[in-house]
Amino acid sequence: MADCMQEWPEPIVRVQAVAESGLAAIPGCYVKPPHDRPAQQHLAAVAVLHEPSDTSIPVIDLGELLAADEGRIDGLITEAVAAACRDLGFFQVVNHGVAPELMRAVREAWRGFFRLPISAKQQYANQPRTYEGYGSRVGVQKGGPLDWGDYYFLHLAPEAAKSPDKYWPTNPAICKELSEEYGREVTRLCELLMAAMSAGLGVKPGRLQEEFGGADGAGVCVRVNYYPRCPQPELTLGLSSHSDPGGMTVLLADERVRGLQVRGRGGEWVTVDPIADSFIVNVGDQIQVLTNAAYRSVEHRVTVNADAERLSVAMFYNPRSDLPLAPMAELVSAEAPALYKPMTFDEYRLYIRRMGPRGKSQVESLKAKPDNR
């Protein structure tokens, strides 16, 4: 395993290069099997940024929660957060405390990077060993499926795991400073949401954070996703269906272009309508494990389109990577036995890094068998 994680199994092709080559038909490696392709009605290019449609995900105003003291994390907002985590596993937050100017500046800085010629970006080409830098695939399996997107991945915390300077783009130079500030602000938001999620389970507000190894132990990383225009969006995906392996994800979606779809309770794909200056939050696999599946880490995927490129900034808030995680004792009983066996996040994330995005197969594979509880 260690060896196969050193290098990519095939030469890396930048999706931006394929898109800009002017091909009318996309190469076969990007074509998804028919049952994974997006339905035609989901391919509308440009988002209308007003009120989200009834069919989108819940919107939660965090204003009152932000103003509350730590001891007073309860009430309607907490209930709304818990209800969303139990139901769809996804929600949008507004009045979340992060300055809209910072959100827009981060997005623009990274747009600046992705608009550079590919030759200027190649020096940051990433390797599967750490994923840090400029990438165009996730799994290391030879011949594995490829998605219609390039990305940039970096670690922001804890201090010991922070990506060294060599991994940061120097053009635009502001990417680093802005992303670090953004990381600190969104981390504060994650800590608040962790408190609300804990209270919504009926345990004390600090419990989930404690399981994550405390605020200083939590890992924070960012992936900036860049989805170029695609001549045949009906055949492919920008990111295949997956659930997020970590704790929680806070997504800054493109302000103009839709693309994110979430698996609804009935198995249907729900297209998210992002509202201006909001974040899209979702539960990751580690919170599903810790809450013994009270909170759901839900499959999602990204569609692309012919008329517009799309950029999103995903910040992943993760548990300390060397702690074995299992359902919290308070949520386990004779009637509700532990659904998952313990595993560290370091071990867990190797799966997605090896196999690429594969629906919910990973967290399912962690299910404890009756004889090993």
Ligand X SMILES: O=C(O)CCC(=O)C(=O)O
Q: Looking at residue 316, what DSSP letter applies?
A: E
Nearest to 85 by CA among 60, 54, 53, 51: 60
Does residue 302 touch ligand X according to CB under 6 A?
A: yes
Does residue 314 touch ligand X according to CB under 6 A?
A: yes
Cis check: omega of the bond before 158, within 30 degrees of 0: yes
Out of 192, 251, 290, 304, which residue is the one contacting ligand X (CB under 6 A)?
251
Please give the size of the binding site for ligand X, defined by CB under 6 A: 12
Quick one: 193 or 253, whose CB is closer to ligand X?
Answer: 253
Binding window for ligand X (CB under 6 A); candidates: 15-23, 124-132, 251-259, 289-297: 251-259
Q: Which tokens hold the place of 234?
A: 């009906």
Quick one: 185 or 285, whose CB is closer to ligand X?
Answer: 285
Quick one: 132 or 244, whose CB is closer to ligand X?
Answer: 244
Quick one: 19 or 73, whose CB is closer to ligand X?
Answer: 19
3-state class of 369 per DSSP?
Answer: coil
Quick one: 185 or 244, whose CB is closer to ligand X?
Answer: 244
Least distance (Å) between residue 157 CB and ligand X: 18
- Residue labelled with tokens 């389970």: 201
Does residue 239 touch ligand X according to CB under 6 A?
A: yes
| Distance separating alpha carbons of residues 256 and 274, to the nearest angstrom | 9
Within 29-58, which residues bind ligand X (CB under 6 A)?
A: none
**Which CA distances in Å does 176 have to 169, 170, 222, 362?**
7, 8, 11, 32
Least distance (Å) between residue 148 CB and ligand X: 11
Q: Lay out the site mask for ligand X across 102-141 (x = CB under 6 A, - = otherwise).
A: ----------------------------------------
Quick one: 47 or 331, whose CB is closer to ligand X?
Answer: 47
Quick one: 292 or 321, whose CB is closer to ligand X?
Answer: 321
| Strands in the chain per DSSP E | 59-61, 90-94, 133-135, 150-157, 219-227, 239-242, 248-252, 260-263, 269-271, 279-283, 300-302, 310-318
Size of the chain in residues? 373
Least distance (Å) between residue 86 CB and ligand X: 20
What's at 148, amino acid-wise? W
Quick one: 246 or 327, whose CB is closer to ligand X?
Answer: 246
Within 208-227, which residues bind ligand X (CB under 6 A)?
A: 223, 225
Cβ-contact 238, 252 below 8 angstroms: no
Least distance (Å) between residue 259 CB and ligand X: 5
Least distance (Å) between residue 284 CB and ligand X: 9
Q: Lay out the site mask for ligand X across 253-292 (x = CB under 6 A, - = otherwise).
A: x-----xx--------------------------------
Does residue 244 touch ligand X according to CB under 6 A?
A: yes
Least distance (Å) between residue 306 CB and ligand X: 17
What angle, 0 to 180 degrees and rounded to 10, lies between the N-to-C axes of helices 174-200 and 100-114? Answer: 130
Alpha-carbon Rg for the chain, nearest whole angstrom, is 20
Q: Which tokens hold the place of 26?
A: 């996309």
Least distance (Å) between residue 279 CB and ligand X: 11
**What's the angle, vertex CA 49, arms to CA 46 and CA 54, rounded to 5?**
100
Nearest to 183 by CA among 281, 315, 355, 274: 315
- Residue labelled with tokens 């055949």: 235
Helices in 62-117 by DSSP H: which ranges? 63-67, 76-86, 100-114
Least distance (Å) between residue 151 CB and ligand X: 7
Residues facing residue 251 across a β-bridge:
280, 314
Cβ-contact 258, 274 below 8 angstroms: yes
Q: What is the binding site for ligand X (CB under 6 A)?
A: 223, 225, 239, 244, 251, 253, 259-260, 300, 302, 312, 314
